[in-house]
Each structure stands twice: as structure tokens, then as C-alpha cells.
């Protein structure tokens, strides 16, 4: 069994890398001027979209206008999503007569999907109409498209061939959706449909149970929803159990396909960065640093889950398949561990097993992946997070060797460093402040928090820490032992998601814009090389030091303490 699990894990990781390379080259081609074979198909559609939207594609946008366009688009669609969610009961496409959402839950859900977080304090099959699900599915395209568009713009600012890349946000956004996300989603959705995932607007199906009783089984346009949730590192589930539900993830084949989709575009964008900027050595350094970090998180998670739980072993229960609590037998413990690390190293957040039931070491790993939030990360935004770590590494390395901090021929000065430091500190501030506040309220107001935790102690604290970490990382996964559909959790997590989405986008764009406006400095003997393995190690150490100093005390109180309590 373990041999098969290792084989599946190796095949999955290999497929991700092998498919990401040509996809990265394709993405670079999409955003490079010039004619190519698919223009006859896409150009007329794009022109129609721009005409209907009243968009002048000839306008060149600087970084300030790029951010303004992004924020206005997100605000408008947030209001539309809020309206739909609060009025689903009387709006069309509601065959199961599901109710509308309360204001606090609708706020949390709308914010969650516009920020690419997809944190869900509800179960989709009972709380959402098909119109509500499709509205959220649209947002899965919009949020991912925004991430790709803004990343491509940063690539443009870092490029020495700026004239070859469009700098109009709306052009980048439409291309990202029409030429990348939509075709890939159609392919993946087709695989899911042929594998047994429902794709219908009919209401609940009536089936007979083994006991002969009549059962009502929820269904809907699931395949389309799942395809973009995985490809766009969105992660929101059509059903409450997410990708552990047999309708969302029917077989081992679909499990591999969906796991590949989680990491596919984040890795492809690193390849596209090298292609667009002509800096393939930099892209290789970034990819290798991210991959080393990913593997270092993956190995202990696989080991922990496939070794089983020693407390269950003391009960003389066979654990030849590893820790199977909260796992689906059609996937097993090893591939479930791979999914858990994949979904938390990115901002995907979908789950094919319950993280609440995983070993404390795996819980530690998933938390660490979200706390770092830079080993591949979300579509587009993951690269921006890593870009901030690069700026920090350049500055520290320059100080260590007595050289002027420079990156891609541009001086790193106090203004850029202040922005980088503020963005770096924002993530731990939101996570640790939120967790401390929740812990204080839980300890001092038991009458208001009686339904919060099913697991007091180390594990209960980890559940609260995980919720704020997931919100701040725009991840969306949860330990699921937390009663989170309350006004406190809905509003608190919603505010954290907003701050953690837009400020980390604005910061790197501002840094790239400021650097692009400076004169290039010719490379000389004293120039710090930033495309070498040595610099990759420096970036990795900066990430580890920042994360360790910020989060180690909190992790000690949660999964680390729980691990030692077991052993």
C-alpha cells in the first residue's frame, strides 16, 4: 500500500512540473504582443467584451491606475455578490428552496470569494442556491484573473522589454480569464464530468438506500465549479465536505487531476516570469527555492500520516494504511498528505481529507505553509509575496557584504524597504492579533462562545490559530472543529481577509513601480548576483527566520505541544 502511495505522490508532483513548463511558455506568449494562431478565435470575443464594457484598450496605465482599476472592480462585484447571497430565497435557480444568508454570513462569504480565499462558514448544498453558487463561481474567475493580471504587470515593470507587454489592467484581466483560465477550466471540467461529477441544474435527486428508504441527494453544476476552484487556487467547495465529497472528487484519477491543478498555474507563472523578462536564471532560482521549501514541508507530512497514530496503535488496531481518521479510503493517507501540503502552500484551501483529524506534525506543516505564504502561493499573488522576500534578501545581503542593495539594476532604498517590511509584518500581525483576541474572548466570555470549540486544550487553540492563519493567507481551508458561523468569526475573518488580500498586492506593485521609475545601474564587479543558488539560499533563510521569529511561539502552544502530548 505504501509503495502505491509513494508512486502516486511522485507521479503527481512530476506531472505538475512537466505540465507547468509548457503552460508557463503559453502564458508568456498570451501577454506578448504579436500575432499567433489562436488570435482568430479570441480577438473577436475580446473586442466584444471591451466594447460592451466601454473599455479603451489604448490607455496605458501606471501602477496607481492599475491598483485603482483592480479595487473598483472588486468593490462593484462585492456588492453584487452581497445582494445575491442575501436574496437567494426569492431569486431564480433555487430548485431546493435554500434560504438566503444573514448579513454577517453573506459579508464573510462575499469577502471570502472576492479575495480568492473561499473560506466557507456554510455548507454549500444546504445554504446556497444554484444562482448563489454560480455567482461565487464567477468570482473564482474574477479573483484569479485579477491575481494573474497584477502579477503580469509586475513582470512588465521588472522587464527590460517593457514595450512588448500590454500595461492596461483590463486587457491583462480579460486575457487571463479568456485565454488561460477558461480553456483550462473547460478541459478539467470535461474530465470531471466523464469521471462522474454532476453537471446539471436539476434539483435534488431521489434515490433508494440499501435499506430501501428514499433519500434526497444534492447535486448541481458541480464540475464547472470544481474546475475553476482548483485552477484558480480558490478552493471553495460546492458541497460542505469539499473535495472529499464523491461528487466533487469521484476517484483516484480525479484526485490526481485536481491536485495537479492546485499547483499548476502558480508554478507556470514562475516560468512565465523568466520568459517575459528574459531572466530565466532568476526564474530558475525562484522555482528551486520554492520547490525546496515545498518538499521540506511535504516529507514530514507524508511520514506523519503514513506512520499512523501511536495512541491508536496502543489499542492494537491495524494501521498498515497509516492515519486514516478523516481520510477517504479511495485516496489513502499519503496522497491526502500531498493534497494538504499543496493546498496550504498555495492559497487554494480545498481539502480531500479533514485537516482536523491529521497528525499534529501535519497540522504544523499546513499552518507553516500558510504562514510563509510564499512557496508558490496563490495565482499571481504568490509570486508577489515571494517578491517581497527577495527585496528583503537583497537588502540584508547587501548589508552583509558591504554592497549597495540592487535588484535587476535598480537600487533598493529606504522607501522600498519600508513598504517591504510593513507588508512582511502585516501577515503575522493579523494572525497573532486575531488568535489572541479569540483566545481572550473564549476564556473570559464562556456564555458567548459555548459552541466554538469541540476540542479544548492544544487542539482547540490550534483550531482558532488555523482559522485566522487561513484567512490571512487567503487560503480558506479550516480545521473544521471550530463553530465558526457566528457574527464574531464572520466579521473578524472578513476584515482579516480584506486587509490580507489588498495590502500585500498594493505593496509589491508599489515597490515594482518605484523601482521601474529609477535609472538602471550597469552591472559591475560589485553588483550582487541575485540569480545564483547562493542568493536562493539567502532568500530561503530570510523566509525561515522571519517565519520562525514571528510564529514559533504560537505554534509551540498548538501543534507542537499536541505532538509531544501524544508521544
User: Residue 162: its pLDDT value, please?
Assistant: 45
Beta bridge partners of residue 215, listed in sequence order: 207
Q: In this model, does residue 149 exceed pLDDT 60?
A: yes
Cell of 52: 460592451
Cβ-proximal residues to 421 (8 Å cutoff; 6+ apart), any chain: 392
The domain segmentation of the chain, as residue ranges, is 379-566
292 close to 533: Cβ distance less than 8 angstroms: no
Residue-wise pLDDT for 76-97, tens only, equals: 999 999 999 999 999 999 999 9
What is the C-alpha separation between 135 and 80, in angstroms, rounded?
A: 9
Q: What CA–CA distances, in Å, run from 43 to 37, 173, 193, 563?
A: 11, 14, 29, 56
Q: What is the pairing mode between strands 406-407 and 214-217?
A: unpaired
361 close to 563: Cβ distance less than 8 angstroms: yes
Could you tell me the pLDDT band of residue 212, with boundaries at 50, 70 and 90? Answer: confident
Long-range contacts of 47-50 (CB under 8 A, 24+ apart): 49/174, 49/178, 50/170, 50/171, 50/174
Q: In this model, does residue 1 exceed pLDDT 60?
A: no
Grid cell 497584477 in the structure block, residue: 150
Check residues 106 and 156 and name the one with the higher pLDDT: 106
Burial (Cβ within 10 Å: 0-12, 13-18, ≥19) of residue 109? buried
Burial (Cβ within 10 Å: 0-12, 13-18, ≥19) of residue 93? middle
Q: What CA–CA distances, in Å, run from 355 to 236, 263, 298?
A: 15, 19, 14
Averaged over 47-55, what is the pLDDT? 92
Q: How many CB atoms lie within 10 A of CB 245?
A: 21
CA torsion 551→556→558→564, rounded to 10°?
150
Q: What CA–CA distances, in Å, run from 14 to 17, 365, 524?
A: 5, 21, 39
276 close to 408: Cβ distance less than 8 angstroms: no
Q: Where are the alpha helices (DSSP H) in 445-560?
A: 458-472, 487-516, 533-555
Beta bridge partners of residue 216, listed in sequence order: 206
Averaged over 47-54, what is the pLDDT? 92
Q: Is the dihedral of CA 304, 309, 311, 314 positive or negative?
A: negative
With b for 16 or more beta-carbon neighbours within 10 A and e for fewer, the 147-156 pattern comes to bbbbbbbbbb
139 close to 81: Cβ distance less than 8 angstroms: yes
Q: What is the pairing mode between strands 410-411 and 406-407?
A: antiparallel
**Lowest mean per-residue pLDDT among 147-151, 161-165, 225-229, 540-544:** 161-165
User: Residue 160: its pLDDT value, please?
Assistant: 58
Please tell me the pTM assigned to this model.
Answer: 0.94
Q: What is the 3-state secondary structure (H, E, C) of 422-444?
A: HHHHHHHHHHHHHHHHHHHHHHH
Closest CA to 259 of 339, 147, 173, 146: 339
Q: In this model, does residue 310 exceed pLDDT 60?
A: yes
51 close to 138: Cβ distance less than 8 angstroms: no
Cβ-proximal residues to 385 (8 Å cutoff; 6+ apart), any chain: 373, 374, 377, 504, 508
Cell of 542: 530570510
What is the C-alpha separation between 517 and 539, in angstroms, rounded?
A: 25
Cell of 112: 471570502
With b for 16 or more beta-carbon neighbours within 10 A and e for fewer, the 17-30 pattern comes to eebbeebbebbbbb
Rounded mean pLDDT of the chain? 92
Q: What CA–CA distances, in Å, run from 537 to 292, 466, 532?
A: 10, 28, 9
What is the C-alpha separation between 320 and 334, in angstroms, rounded?
A: 12
65 close to 496: Cβ distance less than 8 angstroms: no
What is the C-alpha separation between 240 and 126, in angstroms, rounded?
A: 9
Q: Where are the alpha helices (DSSP H) in 31-102?
A: 39-53, 63-86
DSSP codes of every residue in 231-277? HTT----SSTTGGGSTTTS-SHHHHHHHHHHHHHHHHHHHHHHHHHH
Residue-wise pLDDT for 409-458, tens only, equals: 888 889 999 999 999 999 999 999 999 999 999 999 888 887 888 888 89
Cell of 223: 464540475
Q: In this model, does residue 533 exceed pLDDT 70?
A: yes
Q: In this model, does residue 518 exceed pLDDT 50?
A: yes
Q: What CA–CA distances, in Å, run from 446 to 423, 441, 454?
A: 35, 8, 13
Phi, psi of 439 (to 5 degrees): -65, -40
Phi, psi of 234 (to 5 degrees): -90, -65
Could you tell me the pLDDT band of residue 493, with boundaries at 50, 70 and 90? Answer: very high
CA-based R_g, the chain, Å: 23
Grid cell 513601480 in the structure block, residue: 513
Q: In this model, does residue 132 exceed pLDDT 70?
A: yes
Local structure of 34: helix, strand or coil: coil
Could you tell me the pLDDT band of residue 161, with boundaries at 50, 70 and 90? Answer: very low
Q: In this model, does residue 26 exceed pLDDT 70?
A: yes
Q: In this model, does residue 164 exceed pLDDT 80?
A: no
244 close to 354: Cβ distance less than 8 angstroms: yes
Grid cell 525562484 in the structure block, residue: 286
Amino acid at each position: 500500500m505504501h509503495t502505491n502511495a509513494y508512486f502516486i505522490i511522485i507521479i503527481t508532483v512530476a506531472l505538475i512540473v512537466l505540465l507547468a513548463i509548457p503552460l508557463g511558455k503559453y502564458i508568456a506568449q498570451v501577454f506578448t504582443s504579436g500575432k499567433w494562431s489562436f488570435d482568430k478565435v479570441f480577438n473577436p470575443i475580446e473586442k466584444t467584451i471591451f466594447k460592451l464594457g466601454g473599455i479603451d484598450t489604448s490607455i496605458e496605465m501606471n501602477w496607481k491606475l492599475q491598483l485603482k482599476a483592480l479595487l473598483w472592480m472588486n468593490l462593484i462585484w462585492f456588492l453584487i455578490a452581497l445582494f445575491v447571497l442575501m436574496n437567494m430565497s426569492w431569486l431564480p435557480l433555487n430548485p431546493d428552496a435554500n434560504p438566503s444568508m444573514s448579513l454577517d454570513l453573506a459579508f464573510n462569504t462575499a469577502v471570502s470569494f472576492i479575495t480568492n480565499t473561499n473560506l466557507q462558514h456554510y455548507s454549500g448544498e444546504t445554504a446556497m442556491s444554484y444562482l448563489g453558487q454560480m455567482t461565487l463561481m464567477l468570482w473564482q474567475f474574477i479573483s484569479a484573473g485579477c491575481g494573474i493580471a497584477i502579477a503580469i504587470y509586475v513582470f512588465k515593470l521588472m522587464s527590460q522589454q517593457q514595450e512588448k507587454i500590454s500595461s492596461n489592467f483590463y486587457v491583462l484581466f480579460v486575457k487571463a480569464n479568456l485565454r488561460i483560465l477558461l480553456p483550462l477550466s473547460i478541459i478539467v471540467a470535461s474530465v470531471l464530468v466523464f469521471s462522474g461529477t454532476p453537471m446539471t441544474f436539476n434539483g435534488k435527486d431521489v434515490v433508494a438506500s440499501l435499506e430501501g428508504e428514499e433519500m434526497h441527494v444534492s447535486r448541481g453544476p458541480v464540475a464547472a465549479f470544481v474546475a475553476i476552484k482548483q485552477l484558480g487556487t480558490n478552493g471553495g467547495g460546492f458541497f460542505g465536505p469539499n473535495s472529499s465529497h464523491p461528487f466533487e472528487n469521484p476517484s483516484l484519477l480525479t484526485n490526481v487531476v485536481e491536485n495537479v491543478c492546485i499547483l499548476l498555474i502558480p508554478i507556470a507563472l514562475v516560468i512565465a516570469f523568466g520568459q517575459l523578462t528574459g531572466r530565466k536564471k532568476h526564474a530558475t532560482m525562484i522555482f528551486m527555492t520554492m520547490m525546496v521549501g515545498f518538499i521540506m514541508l511535504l516529507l514530514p507530512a507524508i511520514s506523519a500520516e503514513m506512520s499512523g497514530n501511536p495512541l491508536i496503535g496502543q489499542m492494537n488496531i491495524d494501521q498498515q494504511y497509516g492515519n486514516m481518521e478523516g481520510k477517504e479510503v479511495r485516496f489513502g493517507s499519503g496522497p491526502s498528505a500531498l493534497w494538504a501540503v499543496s493546498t496550504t502552500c498555495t492559497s487554494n484551501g480545498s481539502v480531500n481529507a479533514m485537516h482536523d483529524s491529521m497528525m499534529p506534525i501535519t497540522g504544523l506543516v499546513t499552518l507553516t505553509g500558510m504562514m510563509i505564504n510564499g512557496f508558490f502561493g496563490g495565482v499571481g499573488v504568490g509570486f508577489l509575496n515571494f517578491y517581497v522576500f527577495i527585496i528583503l534578501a537583497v537588502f540584508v545581503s547587501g548589508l552583509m557584504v558591504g554592497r549597495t542593495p540592487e535588484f535587476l539594476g535598480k537600487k533598493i532604498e529606504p522607501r522600498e524597504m519600508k513598504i517591504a517590511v510593513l507588508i512582511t509584518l502585516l501577515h503575522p500581525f493579523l494572525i497573532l492579533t486575531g488568535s489572541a483576541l479569540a483566545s481572550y474572548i473564549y476564556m473570559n466570555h464562556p456564555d458567548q462562545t459555548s459552541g466554538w470549540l469541540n476540542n479544548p486544550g492544544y487542539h482547540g487553540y490550534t483550531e482558532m490559530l488555523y482559522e485566522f492563519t487561513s484567512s490571512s493567507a487567503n487560503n480558506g481551508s479550516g480545521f473544521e472543529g471550530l463553530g465558526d458561523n457566528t457574527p464574531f468569526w464572520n466579521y473578524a475573518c472578513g476584515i482579516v481577509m480584506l486587509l490580507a488580500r489588498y495590502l500585500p498586492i498594493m505593496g509589491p506593485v508599489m515597490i515594482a513601480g518605484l523601482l521601474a521609475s529609477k535609472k538602471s545601474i550597469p552591472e559591475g564587479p560589485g553588483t550582487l548576483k541575485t540569480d545564483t543558488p547562493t542568493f536562493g539560499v539567502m532568500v530561503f533563510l530570510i523566509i525561515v527566520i522571519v517565519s520562525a521569529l514571528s510564529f514559533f511561539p504560537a505554534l509551540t502552544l498548538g501543534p507542537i505541544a499536541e505532538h509531544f502530548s501524544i508521544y
